[in-house]
Amino acid sequence: MFTERCGLIIWVNDLKATKNLERYGTVHYTSKKMQYVVMYVHAEVLDETVRNLQKLPYVKNVERSYRTEIKTEYSSNPSDKAKLYSQ
């Protein structure tokens, strides 16, 4: 139902040209102070999109977001910590 998406952080020289990035994916956030754009693209065309973005004259660097690889399920076991400190 939902397509797999990956996040990209794109460092740019000129924020005026970031409107053109919408043709490559969904622009989520634009930082005016640090001049970067966070956008999401489909995972199937990630490599091709990164290559195309790096060719653009106003793009300094393209970084892949590793948010999908970070563990988001947490468990809280305070009893285990209590055993460590009660000796």
* Structural domain total, the chain: 1
Q: Over its length of 87 residues, how does the chain's per-residue pLDDT go in tens digits? A: 678 899 999 999 999 988 899 999 999 999 999 999 999 999 999 999 999 999 999 999 999 988 777 877 777 665 555 566 665
Q: 21-55 burial, b if ≥16 CB within 10 A, otherwise e?
A: beebbeeeebeeeebbbebebeeeebeebbeebee
Task: Give the domain range for residue 45.
Answer: 5-69
Is 79 part of any domain?
no
Would 84 be classed as within a structural domain? Answer: no
pTM greater than the 0.85 cutoff: no
Q: What pLDDT, on a 0 to 100 scale, did the predictor assign at position 74?
A: 74
For residue 43, is it within any domain?
Answer: yes
